[in-house]
Amino acid sequence: MNSSKGFKEKIYDITKKIPKGKVATYGQLAALAGSPGAARAVGMAMKTNPIPEIVPCYKVVASDGSLTGYSAGEGIATKKEKLLKDGVTFKNNKVDLTISQWSGFNQ
DNA sequence: AAACTGACTTCTC
DNA sequence: GGAGAAGCCAGTT
């Protein structure tokens, strides 16, 4: 059951399900996790992310498409490179959510 | 148990 | 359009 897992577990699970070439916002992940508005909690879950290798936290961007945080690699720079490598469309150093934002599980 | 923190979001100046 | 402040949620100390 979804509720059986901790909030962070849900966030990690959802983040791992983000398709290649797509990104999701913190608020979107929070909503999918069952707690809309918990965008900050999502960010903390990413920061405490135990395994960035299996949790593509770089696919998680701000509501504006701006890249924030990222504790691994060179930080934002690495995050941006990973997104470009995944085929995410950028616009002015930000992710073009109009094209690359994940539609959710109902894609 | 209470208080502080933080990879957010939105409003206002 | 950029900078600052307030609000919200979950986790950590």
Supply the Cα-derived Rg of chain A in whole angstroms: 13
Which positions on chain C have an atom < 7 Å from some protein CB?
7-12
Say how many domains are in chain A.
Answer: 1
Summarize the confidence of residues A88-96 as an average pLDDT: 92
Domain hosting A81: range is 7-95
**pLDDT band per the 50, 70, 90 thresholds, residue A19:** very high
Kindly report whether the global pTM for this prediction surpasses the value 0.85. Answer: yes
CA torsion through residues A72, A70, A46, A58, sign? negative
Residue A19 in any domain: the answer is yes
**A46-63 pLDDT tens trace:** 988 767 677 899 999 999
Catalytic residue among A29, A31, A57, A60: A57
- Cα–Cα dist A76/A99, whole Å: 20
CA of A4 to C1' of C9 (A): 18
Whether A94 sits among the annotated catalytic residues: the reply is no
Q: What is the CATH number of the domain that holds A88?
A: 1.10.10.10
Residue A44 in any domain: the answer is yes
Instruction: With beta carbons less than 8 A apart as the criterion, state whether A27 and A65 touch.
Output: no
Residue A106 in any domain: the answer is no
**A22-42 pLDDT tens trace:** 999 999 999 999 999 999 999
At position A64, the amino acid (one-letter code) is: D
Summarize the confidence of residues A61-70 as an average pLDDT: 93
Question: For residue A5, what pLDDT is reported?
Answer: 77
